[in-house]
Structure 1
């Protein structure tokens, strides 16, 4: 049974009023949840990880309510393989910890339980209620002046938990008690329509947590969904709120945005909603101009390559991702310094350092990624040296492969000579004898003949 049929069936058996809007979309009466019994939906326990099932059943057997929630339910209903499984319950974090020996509690702003089974971690959250249902005194302490949530540990019921979640398609619950799917907010309807919609007033929800704008882009790109007009309208005006988000949190969001297999479409949506500028301000500025009458295409090509590599099961490191996203401002700054009289090597080093320092003001970049990122940039110059022992030393460099892949991308968009990229492609595949034939000898330096010192003339005292 498809999602449309499921929705109609659930409304019929519960006696709910069916409301049809101007576009003919079906919207359930929000006063009662839609409950889909097990025979009428596609979620099977065989598709849920054994670790998640242990947590769900452990909570149930201890007398607590226990639901699979969020992206796991959404993806299972769409026929996708979930990346992870989250559980929600009426048990408090301390009660969850008492139930599972492998549990540890994390977070201050949002108290969570992590239950570990081997290498898999199941995140368990207690039902939350919205802060605006509490006293004014609680609201003052829980929100910033801009409306951002500072604390979110007000526990509530299942229905309250559903209404405080961000998007309707992420507020679907799979009940381990009877294997039904529960929907309080019209998420099944939006899942069927391919629509991404915020729960509640979009402006208020973005002010509570501006990162929701980035999540909207990520889900729209990942699922191929259309962002509802009410959800997308405030984005361009409220994007500036991202400047108040800690740079470390934005770094984590960047990895989710661009290492999820939909980097190119994510990038295009971020620029469409004017959000990319808050993540990579220098790159956004460069991309707003054409170069010699042509748009700069390196970033888009690099992100397309990222998607291809991930689809083929190949790794993409944050160092390489950031090297690509920041390359254009580095390249232009390097040329400025050369024009001012700096040597090519000195200019590249200074430009790399300047751009890195400036970028961490927007998104943090741990040194374990920033160091190899700068090496990738600097090695672009060393790849130009093809005489003597230089190519052999380059092959032995631990960052050679990353630098070579970077060179290929530059050559594809015309930023580096295609002949240079082809030379390195051939060179690394040749045997030592053939390599020696391909390498030009290093220029010989004429040795200056040292003048013989004249013997000091002896003089009589």
Structure 2
């Protein structure tokens, strides 16, 4: 863990207590903070120096500065500059322009991407509404808002002071200047870090109206950092949560992965439900949790919490997780409920499962888009829950070779850990995976014997009568059919 907060807080505290406390920016010289080039991505530093050499201002901004001061090792390094995206793209041959809503430049160094954005200003709203959007322009750049006031495009460029004011939270308006290694605080972020609180910049209602995803970001930071939401920042969230319905499902899919797949899923899940946001991300799951439905092999809330704990533990121990596994956990209770309903209508188990999966996924993509490359393995994990109990004969060996076996097995263990009674199925598969061939055959034999004892003698299928040669005809009625 990096430690850059103590000395900086001491300096910041004296500044806040002084008569000049309201004068911004507060500039912390290199001698009064611990953030150095050794804590930064070498590639990010290259980008800063290259922009400076080309005659532009350039700063590191946001998360990388904030995380270092809090004591978290920075992972993403974002650069902001007064160069336009086109100018940045010209300077770096290893770059590409991206985005329509916010034009950015990605400068690529192998697998590392340094994101470079241009100083932006708040876009003024036009009084003349058209059917879908309101358009404004400033300095030759464009912006647009939806009929609900949500910013659709924000490419209005400004200076660093304006850029700080349009950022979401105060601790994200901290800038690191590589020219003199100083940190610039434009909105009181240092004080809020000291007090461990999340404060939105400007009027909370207006800022959430401009971009409702800021409500999700507030929750994500609260879950990640253990900070409290400042009162005025928290107050409008429940009332304005419905604005998430107007955010593109593809964008919300990515936000869910950040919210629940970053190692603090349990606390974030709790906060999402507390502030009424979870229902707009997973409406079916939320309705099921609110209903209190459960059965002997699934307690929805216990199962989701166990799945999130599993994900948190893996991430915190440095392991990776698959997005499809997280979504499979969050949607499984709804699949189980629909599966039960279709079977009650007389549908066989396997078709009922497929129909349940189709219905749940169709409903979910209206809220958060799920790419096919994720929905297909999700279906396979769910399908494995009904295939893993069928271990007799050669099936166990075939299942062990299935490409989704490991994910299905891990999913099974989460079910058991959350309280589902599956007759020791997880333990059986644990032994089978790690057993010798003779041990595996003994395990299968025990299942075969158990199956025979419970099913009784097998019924013999009628044999199809073979036709006689010559003119002889079968005595069986022509309309009779036999099972193959």
Normalising by the residue count of structure 1, what TM-score does the alignment of the two structures yield? Answer: 0.91
Aligned residue pair count: 445
CA contact (8 A) 1:36 1:182 kept: yes
CA contact (8 A) 1:10 1:35 kept: no
Equivalent residue in structure 2 for 1:185, among 187, 203, 208: 187
Residue 75 of structure 2 is matched in structure 1 by 83
CA distance in structure 2 between the aligned counterparts of 1:150 and 1:457, rounded to whole angstroms: 82
CA distance in structure 1 between the aligned counterparts of 2:92 and 2:363, rounded to whole angstroms: 45
Residue 131 of structure 1 is matched in structure 2 by 123
Equivalent residue in structure 1 for 2:170, among 135, 158, 168: 168
CA distance in structure 2 between the aligned counterparts of 1:198 and 1:144, rounded to whole angstroms: 22
CA contact (8 A) 2:58 2:79 kept: yes
Q: CA deviation digits over 1:325-361, x for unaligned, max 9? A: 0000100110111111111111111101111111111
Equivalent residue in structure 2 for 1:17, among 19, 34, 42: 19
- Kindly state the Cα deviation for residue 255 of structure 1 after the two structures are TM-superposed: 1.0
Residue 256 of structure 1 is matched in structure 2 by 258
CA distance in structure 2 between the aligned counterparts of 1:292 and 1:264, rounded to whole angstroms: 20
- Kindly state the Cα deviation for residue 299 of structure 1 after the two structures are TM-superposed: 0.7
* Bigger mean CA deviation after superposition, 448-457 or 208-217: 448-457
- Kindly state the Cα deviation for residue 446 of structure 1 after the two structures are TM-superposed: 3.7
Residue 109 of structure 2 is matched in structure 1 by 117
Q: CA deviation digits over 1:158-188, x for unaligned, max 9? A: 1111111000000000111111110110000
| RMSD, matched Cα | 2.2
Equivalent residue in structure 2 for 1:199, among 194, 198, 201: 201
- Kindly state the Cα deviation for residue 456 of structure 1 after the two structures are TM-superposed: 6.5
Q: From the superposition, tell whether residues 456 and 56 of structure 1 become closer, same or farther in structure 2 (CA, over 3 Å).
A: closer
Q: Secondary structure at the match of 1:439?
A: helix
1:143 aligns with 2:135: no
Residue 364 of structure 2 is matched in structure 1 by 359
CA distance in structure 1 between the aligned counterparts of 2:229 and 2:123, rounded to whole angstroms: 26
CA contact (8 A) 2:125 2:136 kept: no
- Kindly state the Cα deviation for residue 141 of structure 1 after the two structures are TM-superposed: 5.9
CA distance in structure 2 between the aligned counterparts of 1:300 and 1:263, rounded to whole angstroms: 9
Residue 343 of structure 1 is matched in structure 2 by 348
Gapped runs of 5+ residues in structure 1? 19-27
Q: From the superposition, tell whether residues 58 and 287 of structure 1 become closer, same or farther in structure 2 (CA, over 3 Å).
A: same
Residue 391 of structure 2 is matched in structure 1 by 386
Residue 241 of structure 1 is matched in structure 2 by 243
Residue 132 of structure 2 is matched in structure 1 by none
1:406 aligns with 2:419: no
Q: From the superposition, tell whether residues 141 and 386 of structure 1 become closer, same or farther in structure 2 (CA, over 3 Å).
A: closer
- Kindly state the Cα deviation for residue 8 of structure 1 after the two structures are TM-superposed: 2.9
CA contact (8 A) 1:407 1:416 kept: no
Q: Secondary structure at the match of 1:96?
A: helix
Residue 22 of structure 1 is matched in structure 2 by none
- Kindly state the Cα deviation for residue 10 of structure 1 after the two structures are TM-superposed: 4.2
CA distance in structure 2 between the aligned counterparts of 1:282 and 1:331, rounded to whole angstroms: 12
Q: From the superposition, tell whether residues 77 and 453 of structure 1 become closer, same or farther in structure 2 (CA, over 3 Å).
A: closer
CA contact (8 A) 2:150 2:210 kept: yes
* Bigger mean CA deviation after superposition, 434-443 or 219-228: 434-443
Residue 159 of structure 2 is matched in structure 1 by 157
CA distance in structure 2 between the aligned counterparts of 1:326 and 1:361, rounded to whole angstroms: 14
Residue 24 of structure 2 is matched in structure 1 by 32
- Kindly state the Cα deviation for residue 321 of structure 1 after the two structures are TM-superposed: 0.8
Q: CA deviation digits over 1:97-116, x for unaligned, max 9? A: 22222122111221111111
Q: From the superposition, tell whether residues 142 and 452 of structure 1 become closer, same or farther in structure 2 (CA, over 3 Å).
A: closer
CA contact (8 A) 2:85 2:104 kept: yes
- Kindly state the Cα deviation for residue 452 of structure 1 after the two structures are TM-superposed: 6.7
- Kindly state the Cα deviation for residue 292 of structure 1 after the two structures are TM-superposed: 6.0
Residue 379 of structure 2 is matched in structure 1 by 374
CA contact (8 A) 1:221 1:265 kept: yes
Residue 432 of structure 2 is matched in structure 1 by 427
Q: Secondary structure at the match of 1:365?
A: coil
CA contact (8 A) 1:282 1:329 kept: yes
Equivalent residue in structure 2 for 1:417, among 422, 425, 430: 422
CA contact (8 A) 1:239 1:275 kept: yes
Residue 84 of structure 2 is matched in structure 1 by 92
Q: CA deviation digits over 1:223-249, x for unaligned, max 9? A: 111011101111111110000100111
Gapped runs of 5+ residues in structure 2? 1-5, 129-134, 453-457, 473-484
Q: Secondary structure at the match of 1:428?
A: helix
Equivalent residue in structure 1 for 2:97, among 105, 113, 120: 105
Q: Secondary structure at the match of 2:346?
A: coil
Residue 326 of structure 2 is matched in structure 1 by 321
Q: Secondary structure at the match of 1:122?
A: strand
1:269 aligns with 2:274: no
Residue 232 of structure 2 is matched in structure 1 by 230
1:305 aligns with 2:290: no
- Kindly state the Cα deviation for residue 256 of structure 1 after the two structures are TM-superposed: 0.9
